Amino acid sequence: MRTLYYNKGVFATPTGSGESINLKSCVATIGFFDGVHRGHQFLIRHLVEAARNEGMESTIITFDEHPRKVLQSDYQPEMLSTLDSKLLLLSKTEVDNTVVLHFDKTMASLSAREFMQQVLHDHLHVRKLFIGYDHRFGHDRKETFEDYVKYGKELGIEVVRNQAFTLNDIHVSSSVIRSFLREGEVEMANQCLGYPYTIIGKVVSGFHEGRKLGFPTANLDISHFGQMIPATGVYAVRVRLENSVEMKRGMMNVGTRPTFNGKRITLETHIFNFDGDIYDQLLLVSFAHRIRGERKFESPKELAEQLKEDEETVLELFANEK
């Protein structure tokens, strides 16, 4: 997959190497593709198949920032993926090109008709456009699918609506996956994603309460990455240091540490059979199961006893996985 960055009519490669960029006529789809979930994967398979049948390249068009973040200064995104992880997931598909548009207020001011002509037609050479069943674009997002079809005919772009991907009567979407994560239903979220929901964060100094209890933890700061935090509780997780391929098992507490009268949400991961110094390193945490909700215990000793039970539960869950 070739990745290109587009800003105000100018293309660049990820390395900025200045290589010659020649975009051929293509079959494309456009969207934010947060999480690159099974609904997105379903759309991409149709895109690639159509492009091959038409003898053209397949292109995914996405954005470097969530449009709402640009338009609403107080908007706090709850992303399922970072831009880097999104591009990695897209690279595992069979699509030929991914174009990352720089979304700013200038682009946001374009009407759907202007966007289709100036960006899709003139610069990206789109000749056939797949649109997700619930996707809209353009300055005020008032246009309907029929409007896109009309503009497309005027520009020589065939516009096709893709069907929704349904899993157990659920229309899979990024919003649906977020709703599962808000309830702590990580197994359902993972089914919709097609892979375990994963967050990335920097290991920072914490309160060191876990070490006193015999359960040292890596405390994650994910604020820079803007990803969604699942419901409070204790989770069975797999963890990996950013520059490592080894996955380790562990358990994570998401919550306010009520036993110690904490006030803010913290992410504390106990990695089984590990005692290394990983401060300031990036850690990826993949959620497998939620084993219980957050509770306030009468004493640290009672909490430590519960943590031992949690560890046994997590190890048993992993042992029973097929």
**What pLDDT tens digit does each residue of the chain (322 aa) get?**
889 888 877 888 887 655 567 789 999 999 999 999 999 999 999 999 999 999 999 999 999 988 888 778 777 779 999 999 999 999 999 999 999 999 888 888 888 999 999 999 999 999 999 997 777 776 666 788 899 999 999 999 999 998 889 998 899 999 999 999 999 999 999 999 999 999 999 999 877 777 777 788 899 999 889 899 999 999 999 999 888 889 999 999 999 988 888 889 999 999 999 988 899 999 999 999 999 999 999 888 999 999 999 999 999 999 988 6
Shared domain for 229 and 315, answered yes or no, is yes
Task: Answer for the pair 194, 178: CB distance below 8 angstroms, yes or no.
Answer: no
225 & 313 share domain:
yes
- Give the CATH number of the domain where residue 308 resides: 2.40.30.30
Task: Identify whether residues 222 and 138 lie together within a single domain.
Answer: no
Length of the chain: 322
Residue range(s) defining the domain that contains residue 311: 196-320
- Distances in Å between the Cα of 212 and the Cα atoms of 29, 215, 271, 312 are 52, 7, 15, 19
Which of the listed residues 167, 183, 208 is the one where a domain comes to its end?
167
The reply to whether 257 falls in a domain is yes
The answer to the question of residue 188 being in a domain is: no
Residue 114 neighbours by CB under 8 Å, 6+ apart: none
Strand-pair category, 97-101 with 2-7:
parallel
Query: What is the CB-side half-sphere exposure of residue 215 using CA atoms within 13 A?
Result: 22
Quote the CA–CA distance of 183 and 290 in Å, as a whole number: 10
Are 148 and 239 in a shared domain? Answer: no
* Count of domains forming the chain: 2
Residues 45 and 96 in one domain: yes
Residues 47 and 133 occupy one common structural domain = yes
